[in-house]
Amino acid sequence: MLHHVISGNPHGPAVLMGSSLGTSHRMWDNQLPYLEEHFQVVRFDAPGHGQSQDGVEEKAPGELSDATVENFAAQVLELADHLGLETFSYVGLSLGGAIGQQLALDAPERLDKLILTCTAAKFGQPQVWHDRARGVRENGMTPLREPSAGKWFTEGFADDSAEAQGLLDALTESNPHGYAAACDAVSRFDLTDRLGEITVPTVVIAGADDASTPPAVVEVLAQGIPNAQYHVVEGAGHLGNLEAPEEFGRIIGSFLQHETSKARV
């Protein structure tokens, strides 16, 4: 079972939150003030991340695990079943957004709303992820700290942010096999030709200064998913909710509150 933390309104509609590659549920801490009054918030650690370490495959450098985003999405559904949630809304960033897209295709009847932030239908070329997985299997996580700071945040932000430094610390302490398996899963992920099948009400959010999934990449989701809303948040990098918490909170909270007026309580 995925490690998870529940907070907020126990009688409100459920919102599950999936985080980025290399982070944990703590990535969403600064969004809680915008959600907890109205929603039952369930933040989880993705497979191989944080305290979700069950079944992590230890592979030698150059070998691939069997991990897939489809399997990650299935584990999220297992969590929802465990919590007795017939339906829920879902917020996902980067890897978490990939899981959200997969959920929308595999179990659309379970999703009330879908919020995709700083994510993509395909994350570049598979070899990039194979190389990264090999690197952490060989050398551990510490070499990723500096490049991740540059990919996650705008220039200079991490220098003055305790939240950013905490996430980078957690990255270096992560299980390299869990991280590598997620890289393997991302390398196989490509829903470019299936976006038109998503029927769940969706909002897509890009960070204007996101170096990992630039707005042009994120906009592909908004163009491909029928009737999706699209927002670009100025001054935000890849982990955009850290750099622009109020704007992310406003967009996410407004969309969920408006669209969940008919949801179960």
Beta bridge partners of 90: 16, 114
In a domain, 38, yes or no: yes
CA proximity to 227, closest of 253, 208, 206, 201 = 201
Please report which confidence band the pLDDT of residue 263 belongs to, taking 50, 70 and 90 as the band edges: very low
Q: Is the pLDDT of residue 265 over 60?
A: no
| pLDDT tens digits, one per residue of 175-189 | 999 999 999 999 999
265 domain-assigned: no
Q: Is residue 10 one of the residues assigned to a domain?
A: yes
| CATH number of the domain within which 129 lies | 3.40.50.1820
Confidence of residue 226 (pLDDT cuts 50, 70, 90): very high
Domain count, the chain: 1
- Whether 123 is covered by a domain: the verdict is yes
What mean pLDDT is predicted for residues 211-219? Answer: 98
How many whole angstroms separate alpha carbon 251 and alpha carbon 18? 17
* Residue 63 falls inside a structural domain: yes
Mean per-residue pLDDT for 255-265? 56
Measured between alpha carbons, how far is 127 from 124 in angstroms, rounded to an integer?
9
pLDDT digits (tens, 9 = 90+) for 58-109: 999 999 999 999 999 999 999 999 999 999 999 999 999 999 999 999 999 9
Residue 136 lies in a domain: yes
Mean pLDDT of the chain: 96
Q: Would you say 34 and 249 are in contact if contact means Cβ atoms under 8 Å apart?
A: yes
Domain hosting 128: range is: 4-259
264 within domain boundaries: no
